[in-house]
């Protein structure tokens, strides 16, 4: 019997809904959908997505629960590295797609499918992330990409679905929303321009709180482990903080960056928990790590984020960077005080047994206790020697 089985990466949105109908009716394939939950869906939402998949005509639907694994394999290191792409974007979807692709390829391989499909367009990063991971994990499975191959607009997808008795209002479909543990991306007509900003209605989390609120985040060995003196797992803490902070509409921005395929791209996002955790974690590190630990973490954290963004997760250097980042977190433990405000937040201070400001050597700008002024004079003179030599030689030759 001919193997017509295709595993479709399914989110329930416009693109993947189109793929179900197209692969089934135009390609005569047996469509089996799968969704990878990396923390962006509630149980109710997952049930609704499953119902939609069967309504569209899939033969089977599978939810692949990967939230904890996603945190352990990727998100943890994004926190350790304080990763913000172009100093703004916490790689909410970039990192998520990598892990989703791994889970989908593994499932397709185990299920004996001949094809694996995704709904990425031909103008973005996700197509590369899915294709590359699929090729590495399941090279024997053929990749199908209807949206990319047909070069369809979102309006054309809606019209096609209407012909198959599936009605999706344009108002609902004009913004592409991708929600995960580490943030939510928002794409629309505005992000295709360089000058327009996303309207308030485009963001999933509206401003609901306007009175300032103080919270305390607890970290142990670099991992968030509690909020307001209540201990919890890192995943639970991220989800709890997101629920608290997104009511202040914190973590909104528009990221502008270089895509893997060489064009500039723009995407909106909201990532309240990610924004706060990275800033709080970095502040705690500035109190507990050495000057050169901070310096090299900044370099390697930036590289780690860039490689995640560019689908290079399986490059061996990534495991080396992860080991370095993990090693630096041994003293990154303590509490960080944060104030939540409408649309922004402040990190107020930290408490830690490893706080290097607590040393007996001196207080910055006030007094020294372990050296004399004459020691500083001599140290400064020696420190200036190389620059004096350079200036002297070049002055003679100018």
Q: Is the pLDDT of residue 367 over 80?
A: no
User: 305 pLDDT band (50/70/90 cuts)?
Assistant: very high
Q: Dihedral sign, CA of 299, 325, 89, 308?
A: positive
Q: Are 311 and 137 in contact (CB under 8 A)?
A: no
Q: Is the pLDDT of residue 382 over 60?
A: yes
Average pLDDT score over residue span 283-302? 98
pLDDT tens for 159-176 read 999 999 898 876 666 788
pLDDT tens for 322-342 read 999 999 999 999 999 999 999
pLDDT tens for 268-283 read 999 999 999 999 999 9
Distance CA(339)–CA(336), nearest Å, equals: 10
Q: Which CATH class is domain 5-168?
A: alpha beta
Domain ranges of the chain: 5-168, 359-396
Residues found in the chain: 398
Q: What is the pLDDT of the chain when averaged over all its residues? A: 94
Distance CA(98)–CA(96), nearest Å, equals: 5
> Which pLDDT score is estimated for 362?
56
> Which pLDDT score is estimated for 361?
60
Q: Are 226 and 218 in contact (CB under 8 A)?
A: yes
Q: Please indicate whether residue 38 or residue 397 has the higher confidence score (pLDDT).
A: 38
| Three-class secondary structure assignment of the chain | CCCCEEEEECCCCHHHHHHHHHHHHHCCCEEEEEEEECCCCCHHHHHHHHHHHHHHCCCEEEEEECHHHHHHHHHHHHHHCCCCECCCECCHHHHHHHHHHHHHHHHHHHHCCCEEECCCCCCCCHHHHHHHHHHHHCCCCEEECHHHHHCCCHHHHHHHHHHCCCCCCHHHHCCEEEEECCEEEEECHHHHCCCCCCCHHHCCCCCCCCCCEEEEEEEECCEEEEECCEECCHHHHHHHHHHHHHHHCCCEEEEEEECCCCCEEEEEEECHHHHHHHHHHHHHHHHHCCHHHHHHHHHHHHHHHHHHHCCCCCCCHHHHHHHHHHHHHHHCCEEEEEEEECCEEEEEEEECCCCHHHCCCEECCCEECCCCHHHHHHHHHHHCHHHHHHHHHHHHCC
The token pair that represents 287 in the structure block: 């109190």
User: 151 pLDDT band (50/70/90 cuts)?
Assistant: very high
Q: Is the pLDDT of residue 231 over 60?
A: yes
User: 54 pLDDT band (50/70/90 cuts)?
Assistant: very high
User: 150 pLDDT band (50/70/90 cuts)?
Assistant: very high
User: 63 pLDDT band (50/70/90 cuts)?
Assistant: very high
Distance CA(57)–CA(33), nearest Å, equals: 10
User: 123 pLDDT band (50/70/90 cuts)?
Assistant: confident
Average pLDDT score over residue span 80-85? 97
Nearest to 217 by CA among 398, 338, 339: 338
């Amino acid at each position: 019997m001919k193997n017509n089985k295709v595993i479709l990466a399914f989110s329930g949105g416009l693109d993947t809904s189109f793929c179900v109908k197209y692969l089934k009716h135009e390609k005569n394939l047996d469509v089996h959908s799968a969704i990878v939950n990396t923390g962006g869906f509630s149980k109710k939402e997952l049930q609704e997505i499953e119902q939609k998949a069967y309504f569209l005509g899939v033969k089977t639907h599978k939810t692949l629960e990967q939230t904890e694994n996603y945190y352990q394999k990727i998100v943890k290191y994004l926190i350790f590295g304080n990763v913000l792409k172009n100093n703004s974007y916490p790689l909410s979807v970039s990192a998520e797609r990598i892990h989703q692709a791994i889970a989908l390829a593994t499932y397709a391989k185990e299920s004996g499918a001949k094809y694996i499909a995704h709904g990425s367009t031909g103008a973005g990063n996700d197509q590369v992330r899915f294709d590359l991971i699929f090729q590495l994990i399941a090279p024997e499975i053929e990749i199908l990409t209807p949206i990319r191959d047909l070069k369809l607009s979102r309006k054309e997808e809606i019209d096609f679905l209407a012909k198959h008795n599936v009605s999706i209002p344009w108002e609902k479909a004009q913004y592409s929303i991708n929600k995960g543990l580490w943030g939510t991306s928002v794409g629309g007509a505005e992000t295709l321009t360089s000058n327009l900003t996303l309207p308030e209605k485009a963001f999933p989390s509206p401003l609901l709180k306007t009175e300032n609120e103080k919270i305390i985040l607890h970290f142990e060995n670099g991992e968030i482990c509690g909020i307001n003196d209540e201990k919890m797992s890192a995943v639970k803490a991220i989800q709890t903080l997101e629920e608290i902070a997104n009511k202040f509409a914190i973590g909104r921005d528009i990221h502008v960056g270089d895509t893997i395929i060489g064009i500039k791209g723009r995407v909106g996002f909201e990532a309240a928990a990610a924004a706060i955790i990275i800033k709080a974690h970095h502040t705690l590190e500035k109190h507990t790590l050495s000057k050169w630990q901070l310096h090299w973490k900044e370099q390697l954290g930036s590289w780690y984020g860039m490689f995640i963004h560019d689908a290079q997760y399986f490059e061996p250097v990534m495991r080396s960077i992860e080991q370095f980042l993990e090693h630096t977190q041994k003293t990154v433990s303590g509490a960080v005080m944060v104030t939540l405000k409408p649309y922004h937040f402040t990190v107020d201070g930290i408490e830690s047994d490893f706080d290097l400001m607590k040393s007996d050597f001196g207080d910055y700008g006030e007094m020294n206790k372990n050296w004399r002024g004459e020691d500083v004079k001599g140290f400064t003179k020696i420190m200036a020697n190389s620059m004096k030599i350079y200036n002297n030689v070049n002055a003679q030759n100018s």
